[in-house]
Amino acid sequence: MALMSFTEQEKSLLHQVARTAIEQGLYDGTQMRVNLAAYPATLQPIRATFVTLKQGTALRGCIGTLAAHRPLVADVAYHAYAAAFNDPRFAPLRAAEWASVSLHIAVLSEPEPLLFESEAALLAQLRPGLDGLIVRDAGRTGTFLPAVWESLPRPEDFWQQLKRKAGLPAQHGSDTLEVLRYRAESI
């Protein structure tokens, strides 16, 4: 579960890319095209990211992917735009709101399956504050980024709410239930 380690300059560049992607969407309605040659090689590996927007402590948008399929810097630009304008839970971001929005980027490690014989055994493996989880079963999928531990610090609550988010009953369990763990570098 290897995480990338970023310098302060690289973190700053990723933040600037996300801000530029949102501002371009606000002011001319287009999605940013990323010129990979303009960025260091360290920001070009194929990585999965999530971009989260908040107004104060309230969620304002969050879009990302669990499967890496584009260069990191391009993925950040794509998801920043999508979090601002395409999150179906929110109206598109307006220019008047932009100054009050904070921006958070999570760069995900490759997910790894967790093996467990019971819910208690699964809960014993969870590392609050570190693990992001993916749950899959019955044609449904849900994920919580590691940052969700801030609002759901107890493993039992984290797990129950994740199943709920995936559209599974709270007491759901089956032989086909799949749980994967990942880490995230927060920027």
| Distance of alpha carbon 132 from alpha carbon 124, whole angstroms | 15
Give per-residue pLDDT as tens, 176-185: 899 999 999 9
Q: How far apart are CA 182 and CA 3, in angstroms?
A: 9
Residue type, 154: R
Q: Which residue has the higher pLDDT, 114 or 3?
A: 114
What is the reported pLDDT for 2? 65
Nearest by Cα to 103 from 55, 70, 32, 155: 55
CA distance 139 to 105: 28
Banded pLDDT at 170 (limits 50, 70, 90): confident
Q: Return the top range by mean pLDDT from 78-92, 132-146, 158-172.
A: 78-92
Q: Is the pLDDT of residue 1 over 70?
A: no
Q: Which domains does the chain have, with CATH numbers?
A: 8-108 (3.30.700.20), 112-186 (3.30.1490.150)
Question: What pLDDT is stored for residue 161 in this prediction?
Answer: 94
Per-residue pLDDT at 169: 86
pLDDT reading at 172 higher than 80? no
Q: pTM (2 decimals)?
A: 0.87
State pLDDT tens for residues 32-49: 999 999 999 999 999 999
Q: What is the pLDDT of residue 175?
A: 80
Residue 3 reports pLDDT greater than 70: no
Helix (H, G, I), strand (E, B) or coil at 88: coil
pLDDT at 22 over 90: yes
Q: Angle, nearest 10°, between helix axes 8-28 and 72-85?
A: 40
Measured distance CA(82)–CA(159) in Å, rounded: 27
Beta strand pairing status for 140-144 and 178-182?
A: unpaired
Reduced to 3 states, what is the DSSP secondary structure of residue 118?
coil
CA distance 60 to 181: 25
Per residue in 120-158, pLDDT (tens digit) is: 999 999 999 999 999 999 899 999 999 999 999 999 999
Greatest alpha-carbon pair distance for the chain in Å reads 53
Neighbours of 80 (CB within 10 A): 31
Please give the pLDDT value at position 176.
Answer: 86
Residue 73, pLDDT above cutoff 70:
yes
